[in-house]
Amino acid sequence: MLVGCGACLLQFLQTQKFVMYTYAMFPYENLFWLTVFGIHEYFYMFHIWVHQASSIVLCEVFSVTYTNIIREMAETMKLLSVGGSLKQFRLDEDELKATHSDQGDKRSSAIQTKPQRRRQFVPDRTLDANSTAPGTKYTIITLLQDYKKVMIAAKEFNAWVGKIMAGTNMSNYGQFISDVFMMIQLLKEPETDLLSVLFFFEDACAGMVMLFRMLILMSRLYPASEEFLRAYKTYMQHEVPIRKYLIKYNKTLRIVAAKIGGYSTNPTTVPKGVHVLFNYYICAAMWQRPVDRKT
């Protein structure tokens, strides 16, 4: 931020009128208005960069922290599924004799019989709902309660930070597109300063790296939550005394994801964002300046 504001100050000293957008639209030009608009532009740039940096860092910290928490909870859920005693299924002697005697009849009448019904699922393991995962104090109930707390915390975070980040990302996209547009238009000029072109190029690249790094970190929370819910479904496939309660409880669980303006970020968010941004870049590059317009 300080480096950017310092670069803006150097540009301001070189071209006072055109480095500031608001002052360039103002019809008058004197030392008083130069000072007023200079202070306004400098403080505006400083505060907008502070807002972008702080909001992006806040989203990154939230996403990384909750991703690690949910991944550990998923591993704990897997440990709970491994515990318990294996069930042994044995047939009585009468059942074995009946099976061998009826085997020939079933083979002969297999074509004429109706399609067999789907075999009922039989759990292969008996789990104790009060048992704890090795190395932890978690039972299945306390683990689900903590996941529900994570859901509520993520919902409250997305309720205000997600809405703010929607406007921030829109402004970032607009800035990147305008940088590329100005860079391409300068390259079309017969006498172009290379430093001016590099300024817009570096500004666009630095912003894109910061933005897509945030999106990559935020998109990792969605698959971590999916992994936890898959582990929970695996746990319910075993025989548990409170299995009916766990099935009902499963309907209240939702995927935890970091949101931007109501949109849940997932692994497909980053390639979609890159695709949209480069489409705008192509449109900016294909724009043709009117013949009668010199500047």
pLDDT, averaged in runs of 10, over the chain (295 residues): 58 55 64 75 73 82 94 93 59 47 51 49 71 88 94 91 80 81 81 76 82 90 95 88 90 92 87 87 79 61
Tokens 């500047």, residue located: 295
* 260 vs 272: CA distance, rounded Å: 14
Domain ranges (residues) in the chain? 2-83+122-286
pLDDT attached to residue 105: 52
- φ, ψ (nearest 5 deg) of residue 236: -75, -15
Are 165 and 266 in contact, with CB atoms under 8 Å apart? Answer: no
Minimal CA–CA distance to 164: which of 257, 259, 256, 255?
Answer: 259
* 184 vs 19: CA distance, rounded Å: 18
* 159 vs 262: CA distance, rounded Å: 8
Q: Which two tokens stand for residue 97?
A: 């004799």
pLDDT attached to residue 222: 95
pLDDT attached to residue 142: 94
